[in-house]
A and B are shown apart, each in its own frame.
Chain A
Amino acid sequence: MKTEAESIRTTAWSAGPGCHGGCGVIAFVKDGKLVKIEGDPDHPWNQGRLCARVLAMRQYVQHPKRIRRPLLRKGRRGEGEWEEISWDTAYDLIEERMKRIREEFGPESFIFAMGTGRDIGPWISLLAYSYGSPNVMFALSGNACYSPRIAALETFQGDYCVFDAGQWFEKRYDDPRFVLPRCMIIWGYNIHSTCPDNLFGHWIVDMMKRGTKIIVVDPRLTWFSSRAEVWLRIRPGTDSALAMGLLHVIVNEGLFDKDFLEKWTNGALLIRKDKNVLLREKDLNPYASSQNFCVWDERTKSVAIWDSEKLEFVPSNTVPSISCRVHLRDISGREIECETVWDVFKRRIEEYDPHTVQKITGVPEKEIVRAARYYAKSKPASIHWGVPIDMTPNVTPLCHAIACLWALTGNLDVPGGNVIARFAFDAVAYALPGSEGVIKLKSKEKDLTRIGRDKYGPFQKFIWRCQTDSAFEQIFTEKPYPIKGMWIQACNLLAGIGMDPKKWREALLKLDFVVGVDLFMTPTLMYADIVLPAATFLEKEGIRSWWVPLQCMKRVMRIDDCKSDAEINFELAKRFDPEFKWNSLEELFDDILKPSGIRFSELKERVWVFPPEGHPSHPYLRYEKGLLRKDKKPGFQTPTGKFELYSVLREEWGYEPMPLHEEPPFTPLSRPDLAEEYPLILSTGRRSPVYFHSEHRMIPYLRSIDPDPVVEIHPKTAQKYGIEDGAYVYVENWMGKAKFRARVTPVVPEWMVMATHGWWFPERDPKEPELFGVWESNINLLIPMGQNGKDGLGAPIKHLLCKIYRA
């Protein structure tokens, strides 16, 4: 008799699609094999839809080249000789080697490296922290994906926010609480890749169909820019100047929300002109708090205090002046001149008139004015930003400028605006920017040796990873302590996430012990001593509380000896930590889920759950309702309790406290000398809809759609260099070169080329020197490490210089 396939409802996240989305799927399994996968029509996230990567899962999960058993290296690193071993042997060997390193050099000498996270974050942290090391590393230069944006918003807004697509509600766009944004600015983001940052790209398409108009900031002609009301074709790396230009128009034309400015920003605080810092109560009274600030009271014509703890003025009936210049006496009796934050802020944006901004960005003056007016006059409106925001050293001031746009136009946490996003039910698995999770280091002291912590402010307050470029450097310098080993989990350092990848290879060779965990053999894992076979989302149990809804993954099948990252790390964590407190993975899940009041067993039944009205992880206008701060007072989780036009933390850390533009390190403006030899702007990382970073090149359905590494070249530029469409070309600069197929197309401007990233060739010889062809078309060979912002964040990944020529 023919048996029916069993259908199981779960969530597609982590290995498989690879992306950061949380699509509901129905997996059809028969005799332990995946026969089909479909989108779950009832799931509010994707509403039945699915991308090419999930639909190709059958080829992925049962792929003949999956790693299926633990492997022990034989011969030299890179020789590709492996012996299959049992899990028990693998665990024993790893335990012994890692404990020896811990005893001899201390736990911090072991780094735990991950790629772009997905569900790896909690489990790699669990392992690192149980071992005792604070050095969890997101292996990208300048930690330049997402963390900088989150940390920036934590700094001046206290919480992260995302565009509103009604994702908080079961009925989505039809929920009466949701309001369709009249306008969206889509800033450095292309629809193809669909699901970055825990969002679903096509939600924007859904809203466009319903009437949302878009403004696009992008140097490339994209699907979005073709359909935009205004397309701001920017020179890469000048986004902060553009944001300041938009603010210039909005402020000077009075298009901002005066009520929000006065009530919810720190615009009325006084800045002392002699030191260019905020005037603190302590400056006037030696016994007062240094965390209280001063305003000018219009009513009494004297100084009043803003108590940052109680979030009230002293005296309470103070009417703070938003704009004034006053002279006061400090404790020593010296006269000091003060101005309000708002006045200084306005003067800063005065420097960015549209004409000046046109000269910096290349965007025509009138388009800047048109975009600013359109955005500010459309209510509600939102901004969606992509990873190019992180991929510039000036990331934090850039985020500050963009955040000021949505705040000053009154679009923060309103329906259809930029809505504050928190972990579902505040259930936090592990330390992410701004939040402490269930999985953490045993004590604050253990964190003191974390690489980059001392050097960079945000790494003491919001970012609990090590600073990647500092860690990279420390592997070679061994200062202040040597790095002896690396745990590499779902992280293809040499092919995808590592800039200057040949040097990363050297770094790996320098280590005493390397463990790799992945689903396929990669160029990176050729340098591991032990490789462990990981599982796709279909083979694992897991939870997801990243924004909303709260979701779970259910195991629907097993592939040989593959285990989930959580299972692998849980077993080893137990061995490293004698006080390990969980008896089973399910117990740990339940612990993480505790704030939701839902146990893992119940979540598995329900698959997804939305936080209810009134919960801090449910919108809107939570700063008014007192739902954001621990003390339940209305306001934001910032040092002043306000949205900070002037960042207190940035001032304390010694960084620029207000937004501004700084020219990136390698552009025709900052390095005209280099531009002579390398006249084209090199931008990288254009997304393919069928790949996620360095993944999926071995999946036939996907590879047949996008078979080759491609560089996009404008027809006029191609003609100038004698390059035809489809020809092989070298892209070269002072760092190195890489080979691509030319795609001659007007989607890129004449002065820029766009190279795809993440290329290696799983079909080629894994052994050195071929190494799956990882040195052939790897654009990261042209990108340096160590070129970060002053706060250790951001890296110039989208705006370098290069030349091109026929291969």
Chain B
Amino acid sequence: MEGKEIYGMLIDYEYCTGCHTCEVACAQEYDWEEGISGMKVMEIVEKLPNEEYYLVYLPFPTEVCSLCLGRIKKGQEPQCVKHCMAKCLEFGRLEDLMEKMKIKRRTVIFRPR
């Protein structure tokens, strides 16, 4: 298996509902103490023209995210991807994720530390 540098996480922030599953899934897997997780979810209330607003949740990998490479080697998904309630997280090779990003709006690719 190649190194971590070729992998990343595609996040479809149109569909993240802010359920915090990814945070706890990671905490359980790595036995983090509370408050630490490989994922964090931010809430952003975007102000738009005409007094309109758009509510977005953005999950992103933190400094402790390892992309679950240990699980990947065993043929499993990262814990956060596996459990995501909105199925809005995808793990993969950066070049493959890039192709997916071309056809889906409101997405972002993260390459963690």
Which parts of B3-29 form the interface with A (CB within 8 Å)?
14-15, 17-21, 23-25, 27-29
A residues 11-57 with Cβ under 8 Å of B? 36-39, 41, 48-52, 55-56
| Of A39, A223, A226, A704, the contact of B83 (CB 8 Å cutoff) | A39
- Residues from chain A with a CB closer than 8 A to the CB of B47 are 746
A-B interface pairs (CB < 8 A), number? 102
Which of A48, A209, A223 interacts with B18 by CB under 8 Å? A223
For A49, the chain B residues whose CB sits under 8 A away are 21, 82-85, 87
Contacts of B25 in A (CB 8 A): 50, 52, 55
Closest to A47 in B: B87
Chain B positions 38-80 with a Cβ under 8 Å from a chain A Cβ? 45, 47, 53-57
Decide yes or no whether A690 CB sits under 8 A from chain B: yes
What separation, in Å, do the CA atoms of A463 and B15 have in the docked complex? 39
Shortest CB-to-CB span from A393 to chain B, Å, is 31
Q: Does A222 contact B (CB under 8 A)?
A: yes
Given A38-B83, A689-B18, A702 and B54 contact (CB-CB distance below 8 Å): no
CB of A209 within 8 A of CB of B28, answer: no
B101 on the A face (CB < 8 A): no
Interface string of A784-802 (1 = CB under 8 A from B): 0000000000000000000
Determine if B34 and A703 form an interchain contact, defined as CB atoms under 8 angstroms apart. Answer: yes
Expressed in whole angstroms, the minimum distance between the Cβ of B107 and any Cβ of chain A is 13
The residues in A between 92 and 122 inclusive whose CB is less than 8 angstroms from any CB of B are: none
Given known contacts A49-B21, A192-B19, A221 and B45 CB-to-CB distance under 8 angstroms: yes
Q: Which residues of B contact A51 (CB under 8 A)?
A: 19, 21, 85
Tally of contact residues, A, Cβ under 8 A? 39
Of A38, A701, A702, A746, the residue contacting B53 (CB under 8 A) is A746
A194 pairs with B85, CB closer than 8 A: yes
Least distance between A36 CB and chain B CB atoms (Å): 6
Q: Does A8 lie at the interface of the complex (its beta carbon under 8 Å from any beta carbon of B)? A: no
CA A191 to CA B85, docked complex, whole Å: 10
Residues of B within 8 A of A225 (CB): 55
Judge if A205 is at the interface, Cβ distance under 8 Å: yes
Q: Which residue of B lies closest to A700 (CB)?
A: B34
Instruction: For the complex formed, measure the closest distance between the CB of B42 and the CB atoms of chain A, giving whole angstroms.
Output: 12
- Is A336 located at the chain interface by the 8 A CB criterion? no
Contact between B83 and A50 (Cβ–Cβ < 8 Å)?
Answer: yes
**A216-246 interface code vs B (CB 8 A; 1 in, 0 out):** 0000011101110000000000000000000
Let me know if A705 and B82 touch, CB within 8 A. Answer: no
Is the C-beta of A558 less than 8 angstroms from some C-beta in chain B?
Answer: no
Residue A212 lies at the interface, judged by CB distance under 8 Å to chain B: no
A37 touches B28 (CB 8 A): yes
Q: In the assembly, what is the distance between CA of A222 and CA of B55, in Å?
A: 7
- Cα A705 to Cα B24 in complex, Å, equals 9
Q: Within 8 Å CB of B23, what residues of A? A: 52, 701, 705
**B87 / chain A contacts, CB cutoff of 8 Å:** 49, 205-206, 209
Q: With A38-B83, A221-B45, A746-B47 known to touch, is A58 a contact of B21 (CB < 8 Å)? A: no
A39 in contact with B82 given A701-B34, A747-B45 (CB within 8 Å): yes
Contacts of B109 in A (CB 8 A): none
For the complex, what is the distance from the CA of A702 to the CA of B84, rounded to whole Å?
16
Complex alpha-carbon distance, A346 and B20, angstroms: 47
**How far is B83's CA from A49's CA once the two chains are assembled, in angstroms?**
4
Contact B55 A221, beta carbon cutoff 8 Å: yes
Tell me how far the C-beta of A429 lies from the nearest C-beta in chain B, rounded to whole angstroms: 29
**Across the interface, do A52 and B24 meet the contact criterion of CB distance under 8 Å?**
yes
B-binding residues in A (CB < 8 A): 36-39, 41, 48-52, 55-56, 58, 191-192, 194, 201-202, 205-206, 208-209, 221-223, 225-227, 689-690, 700-705, 745-747
15 A–B pairs (Cβ distance < 8 Å), ordered by A: A36-B28, A38-B82, A49-B83, A50-B21, A52-B23, A52-B25, A55-B83, A194-B85, A202-B86, A205-B15, A701-B27, A703-B34, A705-B24, A746-B45, A747-B55
